[in-house]
Amino acid sequence: MSTALVLFRRDLRLSDHPALHAACTAHDRILPVYVHDSAADGDWAPGAASRWWLHHSLRALDQALSCQGGRLHVATGDPLTCIRQLCIASGARAVYWSRRYEPAAIAHDSALKAALRADGIEVHSHPGNLWQEPWMLTTDSGQPYRVFTPFWRRLSAQLPPPRPLPEARPRQWGIADGSVPIEALKLLPVIRWDAGLAAQWTPGEAGAQELLEIFADDAVNDYAKLRDLPARHGTSRLSPHLHFGEITPRQIHAHLRERAEGADLTPYLRELGWREFAYHLLYHFPYTPHANFNPRFDAFPWAKDDPALLERWQRGRTGIPLVDAGMRELWQTGWMHNRVRMVVASFLTKNLRQHWLHGARWFWDTLVDADLANNTLGWQWVAGCGADAAPYFRVFNPYLQSAKFDPDAAYLKRWLPELAALPAKTLHEAWKNPSALAACGYPAPMVDMAASREAALAAWEALPAA
């Protein structure tokens, strides 16, 4: 009887899983394995919110396997050592996995594949979490894309993609001795601050499918209109499920085409296209998680690091209502509306002139959808130093943004309960009403928005020409 190992990483699902499907087709017995090893992530090991999600996602995967008579074999330590031992114990002569695209993970998987093949073990890597592999789309001159619009034009011309694969069901699930409990990985916080996350999210493949159903029924038809309103659930909120591979872009696309017939899916699919663009950039420009895509910004005069200032931003105590509402939403739920993400990032990098890496690191630790490709693209885009970045002179005004996208201040009042009794107009014009906000125990603004904007623009204009 032929046995294969399927190594699960950020593909924690059973359906539309090319690697698992291929293994089930070629072998009689499948041993599903998760090896916990943060070394493959380099210095971007999962943050606290991501570890919380991973714990619950692994439990969900194990439960799904148990419904088919299997179980997830969990190991911890060096993946090569663990896989070698499991191959000997199970008699497996083949290992399957889904590809990863982060620089450290690519190097790790390449070394793992070479070592296993030197042992005489077959290794099969498969795509699975993107519409297209990052190297498959190039410009007419064969170069990687640096601008989103032509990238999206070429990618969207190739949609719709093939139909999603059905749930994999091997002839027999394998079981090996030595699996450790998921709890032994110690992914959950010792001090249980995660109640807000648990109230908002259901990690796992079933939770992803439920959110997709809700989005298809309630929001996709009005996505272009609702997606910028932070008080509404106008977005799919599927980003953490996508990051952990509990659902695929192919599944989302196919389901929406079927359930939302007649709806204009382009605005939403375009957002998934930005995710693909982020992975395209990370693959072709692997230095960008730590360095500016645009080297002109290497000379930018960032303000001196100020831990006290940074902490006020992190805790939502800046005195700017929309910024503080977003940062408190993040702290409590592990997520933040995308419109607000742009506002809080602009405030940090332009009004406070703190380096974008400070923000990227904080998001990395606190977001349940922390994803190296998307996090890097987003922060460099707002800071003005990335590929296809927002012009540096685009500085988001939090007061105008809240008045436009949260006119009745429902979002502000939800996350800033000390200000809930104040009129919306007072909150949108907080700089005119400092005493009213101070009477509620709310802090004064950290900076003058107009003056800090002018200082940022002056710093940018002083940069050497490209």
Active-site positions read 271, 274, 302, 338, 356, 379
Please enumerate in sequence order all residues whose Cβ is within 8 A of that of 32, keeping only pairs 6 or more positions apart, or say none: 6, 8, 20, 61, 65, 70, 71, 72, 73, 173
Q: Which residues pair with 73 in a beta bridge?
A: 33
Burial of 128 (0-12, 13-18, 19+ CB in 10 A): buried
Rounded distance, CA 59 to CA 187, Å?
Answer: 12
* Nearest alpha carbon to residue 131 among 228, 238, 249: 249
Neighbours of 4 (CB within 10 A): 27
Give the CA distances from residue 325 to residues 264, 364, 371, in Å, rounded to whole numbers and listed in that order: 31, 19, 22
- Cα 185-186-191 angle, rounded to 5 deg: 170
CA distance 459 to 385: 14
| Residues in contact with 73: Cβ distance below 8 Å, sequence separation at least 6, in sequence order | 31, 32, 33, 34, 86, 175, 176, 178, 179
Helix axes 398-405 and 321-333, enclosed angle (nearest 10): 70
3-state secondary structure of 340: helix
CA distances in angstroms from 219 to 231, 262, 452, listed in the order given: 13, 14, 37
* Structural contact between residues 97 and 109, judged by C-beta atoms closer than 8 angstroms: yes
Of 347, 305, 339, 295, the C-alpha closest to 323 is 347
How many other C-beta atoms can be found within 10 angstroms of the C-beta atom of residue 389? 18
How far is residue 354's CA from residue 7's CA, in Å, rounded to a whole number? 40
